[in-house]
Structure 1
Amino acid sequence: MKDHRVPVPADVSQAFTEVAQGARLSWRMMVCCDPDPAPGSNFARVNELYPFEKVSDRAHHYVSAALEHLVMWADFAAPFKFHPEQATTFTMRPTNALARAALESASQAVWIMDTSDPTECLRRHLSLIRWDLEEHRKSHLDAEGKSRVRAREVELLERVSMNFAPEEVRAPQGYLWVIQQACRPADLDLDGAEAERLWRAASGAAHGMYWTKLDLADSHVGEEYEPGHFRAFTVPNPQAMVEVLRASEAMVTYAVLKYLQFSGADIDSLMAAARRWLAQQITLKPGADPDTRDRLAGPP
């Protein structure tokens, strides 16, 4: 098998770096945020309505899952430390798989928090719990395991029956539905139709669907191995990777900021601290301006 790697264009490399560092900033803010919601915050109010399975804990789980995927890609694409002989090869399927997973995870958190009504926030939280229980039940092969999970769902419905009918807290219609709901906020610059296109392509790539090789990769004509017959090879379309990564990072960043807002955290302070931390971690290019780190860290 011949090596058909081609250099990544400069603008794509810059976009990859921006996504990677954006993911790290979000991760750092989450790490430094107090895990307990501030008194009087949105999460505190919803947790009072339903203290059994706190919405703040579940939201933290969804956001953390999204960040794990995106930061893993960041550590591969733009590591803090480079070996002089290091070469990074970007491939289509792992990039799309991680971007898709981050998008799905973050969308659940965004959907929960895209409301100013504590009761509605709780209702969405309960719907996601039921979805989780449904998938957990399916994962068991034995009847005893399925029965235990089903009992948890019955207990949940009984616990909330005074406020919600079973159909009001039914499980969502799948990840695509949740993603489209999460695209509704006006201050999230991500169109629902575009998000669907990217999600379907990323899912197809992650599952090895052949059509994604046609849509997400560029074909090139190679050697003529027989008269009139040429070998062809494909390389990932760099712009397609940028598109799905940027959409994923936008959703993840929005989820992080909403989580911090719902927790009653000091977002400006967390952002400033995260920028200072990131400025100290990155490796500067040879000959870089000595003041580069101070500029990246921002004003005190």
Structure 2
Amino acid sequence: MSAPAPGLGDFSYLGPLFDAAAVHRADDHFVPPPEPAVGSSLAQDDEPLKSWGVANFVRSSLTAGLFHVEALNKLVTVVRKVDPYSPWTLLRCVLENFATAVWLLEGQTCDGRRHRALSLWDEDFRNRAQHEADVHHVVTGPDEKTGEQRRQEVKQLADNLGLCPLSTPRAGEIIVTAASTAGLDPEQTRASWRVASGFAHGRFWPHLRAAEPTGVVSTPGGRLISFQVDDKQLESLATACRTLLEHTARQYASRSTPP
């Protein structure tokens, strides 16, 4: 990680997360984990799920998180201009991405992991159906199906496998479960996520709990308070993201390799 620009502040505590992400970098792209090998536990999980398996969602979540980390890295080391919102917003995405990957990989039973994967696919197709309704999407190809049709296929597959009814995955619950699995404090990790979400949505309360006032400027309508990032709390969030990333990499490698 490059030295911070004068007046920017010292964000070197983000270095371990940037270094952990760089392990997955190759030239101009990130390298996704390989397909699970035949005979591995992950391949066994995914065999009846086909393209709707655990591995595909883990690889997608991992890649998205890595790109968010890189965006923050460039903001700090290349652009060298950090506002009080962007680091929290980016790391919120990172935390959700990596926590989702851990959550998918670490279900206690094969059926439990399949249920988690199909629940995410069900939600994915529900969101797709909402978008298609917004844009008035019309099916044109003979083999094309709508998000709602795909969603019904996912539900039918879950029924065929004897899985309990699919449930809507909740980010807070996923984060708590993943944090516990990875050896993090689940409540502290969720608290970091709540703060990050507050900044991402432009709420007022995060400034009171995770920002440091730096000055007051008089305005025609009153006074404008300047804030800067609370380094200690942002570091805690970055550390949780790194832990989840490294846990995902270890578990994927273990579960995608035959015993």
How would you bin the TM-score normalised by the shorter chain? 0.7 to 0.9
Q: Distance in 2 between matches of 1:221 and 1:49?
A: 59
Q: Are the aligned partners of 1:19 and 1:74 in contact in 2 as well (CA < 8 Å)?
A: no
Q: Are the aligned partners of 2:84 and 2:227 in contact in 1 as well (CA < 8 Å)?
A: no
Kindly provide the CA deviation profile for residues 35-72 of structure 1, in whole angstroms up to 9, marking residues without a partner as x: 22222212211122322423212211111111111122
Amino acid at match of 1:57: N
Alignment partner, residue 54 of structure 2: 55
Distance verdict in 2 for CA 1:175–1:145, change over 3 Å: farther
Unaligned 5+ segments in structure 1 are: 80-86, 266-300
Q: Distance in 2 between matches of 1:194 and 1:70?
A: 21
Q: Are the aligned partners of 1:103 and 1:248 in contact in 2 as well (CA < 8 Å)?
A: yes
**Residue pairs, 1:194-205, within 5 angstroms:** 194-205=188-199
Alignment partner, residue 207 of structure 2: 213
Alignment partner, residue 279 of structure 1: none
Amino acid at match of 1:214: L
Alignment partner, residue 177 of structure 1: 173
Q: Are the aligned partners of 1:102 and 1:252 in contact in 2 as well (CA < 8 Å)?
A: no
**Residue pairs, 1:1-300, within 5 angstroms:** 6=7, 8-9=9-10, 13-27=11-25, 31=30, 35-78=34-77, 88-115=80-107, 117-140=109-132, 141=134, 148-165=146-163, 167=165, 169-172=166-169, 174-185=170-181, 188-222=182-216, 232-264=225-257
Kindly provide the CA deviation profile for residues 213-261 of structure 1, in whole angstroms up to 9, marking residues without a partner as x: 2222211345789xxx987432222222212222222222222222222
Q: Distance in 2 between matches of 1:260 and 1:202?
A: 30
Worse overlay, 195-204 or 210-219: 210-219
Alignment partner, residue 293 of structure 1: none
Q: Tell me, what secondary structure is at the counterpart of 2:52? A: coil
Q: Distance in 2 between matches of 1:33 and 1:233?
A: 41
Q: Distance in 2 between matches of 1:128 and 1:119?
A: 14
Q: Distance in 2 between matches of 1:230 and 1:183?
A: 40
Q: Distance in 1 between matches of 2:107 and 2:217?
A: 58
Distance verdict in 2 for CA 1:155–1:262, change over 3 Å: same
Q: Are the aligned partners of 1:137 and 1:145 in contact in 2 as well (CA < 8 Å)?
A: no
Number of residue equivalences: 244
Alignment partner, residue 292 of structure 1: none
Distance verdict in 2 for CA 1:243–1:34, change over 3 Å: closer
Q: Are the aligned partners of 1:60 and 1:259 in contact in 2 as well (CA < 8 Å)?
A: no
CA RMSD between the two structures: 3.0
Alignment partner, residue 3 of structure 2: none
- Following superposition, the deviation at residue 132 of structure 1 comes to 1.1
Kindly provide the CA deviation profile for residues 178-235 of structure 1, in whole angstroms up to 9, marking residues without a partner as x: 11121221xx23111111110110001111112222222211345789xxx9874322
Distance verdict in 2 for CA 1:195–1:257, change over 3 Å: same
- Following superposition, the deviation at residue 116 of structure 1 comes to 5.2
Identity of paired residues, percent?
Answer: 19
- Following superposition, the deviation at residue 92 of structure 1 comes to 2.1
Distance verdict in 2 for CA 1:68–1:221, change over 3 Å: closer
Distance verdict in 2 for CA 1:222–1:6, change over 3 Å: farther
Q: Distance in 1 between matches of 2:111 and 2:224?
A: 61
Amino acid at match of 1:193: E
Q: Distance in 2 between matches of 1:129 and 1:23?
A: 26
TM-score normalized with structure 2 length:
0.81
Q: Are the aligned partners of 1:66 and 1:101 in contact in 2 as well (CA < 8 Å)?
A: yes
TM-score normalized with structure 1 length:
0.71
Q: Are the aligned partners of 2:41 and 2:256 in contact in 1 as well (CA < 8 Å)?
A: yes
